[in-house]
Structure 1
Amino acid sequence: MKLLRFGPAGAEKPGHLDDDGQVRDLSGVADDFAGDGVSLEALDRIRATDLSSLPVVADPGRIGPCLARVANFLCVGLNYTQHAIETGAEPPKEPVLFNKTSSCLSGPNDPIRRPNGSQRLDWEVELGIVIGAETWQVSEDDALDRVAGYCIVNDVSERGFQLDHGGQWTKGKSAPTFGPTGPWLVTPDEVGDVQKLALSTTVNGETMQSSNTDDMIFTVRQIVSYMSRFMKLMPGDLICTGTPEGVGMGRSPQVFLKDGDVMELRIDKLGQQRCEVVGT
């Protein structure tokens, strides 16, 4: 299934994208997509519905983030071999974990608002994992059984905030609109081999990132298992799995986003995003 949320910010409705590309209204069938609303049991109840009988939304308008909210917005850093090389870092021996604040969540086509003081705004296309069941110290063999689905996330980063002020990376990752997510939450049966998905970013039509999830140092299976060694993952938690090479910080000379720049992000089977940078 491809699940989405449509409508004005703060008043989105749950929907399903059918095989003909039509949005069908899941209101009354599904709760909003957050927490237990994306548990494996909740998704099974949606599957059991005759989705073809649901009303078609002629004009869905704005597409919101595919999750209404996230309790935990978790991230893995330096998880693509070529990205680690471009930053001058040694590929890590264990996953590098950090977080984005949940308040940065935004829609896949919403504007990205540059915060005051921002000089080095950067893009990061990432595969997002949405957890579908309580997950505590799960084995790698069983880890994928806890996944509700996958989505695109742009881990928007302000490199000055991230690197010049000490401490954790979180402060450079968390401003409002720094978490475009969606357009769809796609269930694993439609994704297939999650370690063979092409992903890319263009800025103003120029390709900046072009890679494949087969370059990930730690796989989805390994990430979910590893995180669950240290924390209980819950339905609706969102995990960003790292970005490939081609970020602005890694280019020579470095390139950062300006007001009016347009980013387009794509991942096979997960759709695409289009966001414009605007001033505060």
Structure 2
Amino acid sequence: VMKTRIRERSLAQGLSKSRLPEFTESEKQRIKGTFDFFGFNHYTTILAYNLNYASAISSYDADRGVASVTDRSWLGSGSFWLKVTPFGFRKILRWIKEEYNNPPIYVTENGISERGDLGFNDTWRIHYYKSYINEALKAVVLDGVDLRGYTAWSLMDNFEWATGFAEKFGLYYINYTDPNLPRIPRESSKYYSSIILCNGFPDPANGPHLCLQPHASSGKVQFLGLGLTSLNAEIGLYVLFAFALMGVLGLVLFSYKYGKLSKRLFTIFDLIKELEEISS
């Protein structure tokens, strides 16, 4: 659509070809199917409607030919352009699947900003992640989208381009007035950690869940006198099992070979004994 529109407007302006460079057929064939995955940054959704500009106007907006609006009922954020629209996340993931033959998708950025000192109980960010991750889950389970990974933006407050440090996306707050730049966890960091730990959203109405118990938050277990994460302890058990299995197999092999050797030795000794008797 973009290529066709810009070509038509370019020709209408008296140009001999499109202002937008185009691939040759050989270039198209050369790059077709060479991608490894679809990396995708997503934050919000907008509504759009047709808006035709005069053909003589040459600009990004004129080439695009649309105007965009947002619904007043959508929740806002610390960025004027970012409205909370989780329903759009599932739609665009499904569109990528259908448009590009269901490629592996990695969501490389997804999050919400704030402005000012709003404290550490960032319930709006918790709501954002809960809603958006659930829509991603629907895209996988209900729509068959090949979503391989998800990355929250961002771990810590950082420099946000033209807005500097005014807009904060972090799960961890950073006090930039302190030379030590301390990292302080917001409530959303704990919520996001629980999603990872529980591999989803346990319903409190169903009673206590193991992953939400206090002892589970440390992620440490005692193994051979060491405080290890459950993953490392599991790996340790597998390693010990492998060594034990190798030991048993080695013992069986040794016994088998030793048994055959013993039989051969006894046969040789019997033959020598018979030869001695004959010679005598």
TM-score normalised over the length of structure 1: 0.20
Structure having the higher helix fraction is 2
Structure having the higher strand fraction is 1
Structure label with greater radius of gyration: 2
TM-score normalised over the length of structure 2: 0.20
